[in-house]
Amino acid sequence: MQMTKRKPATVGEILVEEFMQPLGLTQGELAAAMGAQRKQVNELCNNRRSVTASTALILARVFGNTAEFWLNVQRRNDLWEALRNPRERERFRRAKAPANRGVSHPVLEPRLHIRP
């Protein structure tokens, strides 16, 4: 995945600026539509809570888009944060592919399939 130097828009920014404000929704109204507590919506809006699969399904139902949309926004931010965290970057640097013990693995060692 190609990552930019600019931080991607967060779930909270997209939720508030692209969905709640244009529709005139308050956090309380969104919480009622989601069947959730207002605290959960507040934490989503303020980027203190991550989008889970179940929350993504609920948001997709409320706003008429897809769960994948919400999960991708979360994934982009998680990757961006991980790549900029010095401790995580060190862990990535130390990671190595498993040693080949004479057994090929289709994912770790892909082979070209050439048809005659």
Q: Tell me whether residue 48 is in a domain.
A: yes
Q: In terms of pLDDT, which residue wins out, 38 or 87?
A: 38
Q: Tell me whether residue 104 is in a domain.
A: no
Q: Tell me whether residue 110 is in a domain.
A: no
Please tell me the distance from the alpha carbon of residue 24 to that of residue 12, in angstroms, as a whole number. Answer: 16
For 69-112, what is each residue's pLDDT tens digit?
999 999 999 999 998 999 988 888 888 877 766 656 555 555 55
Sign of CA dihedral 49, 52, 54, 57: positive
Please state, rounded to an integer, the average pLDDT across all residues of the chain: 88
**CATH number for position 72:** 1.10.260.40
Please give the tally of structural domains in the chain: 1
| Global pTM value | 0.77
Q: Tell me whether residue 23 is in a domain.
A: yes
Q: Could you tell me the residue range of the domain that residue 78 belongs to?
A: 11-89
Please tell me the distance from the alpha carbon of residue 70 to that of residue 109, in angstroms, as a whole number. Answer: 33
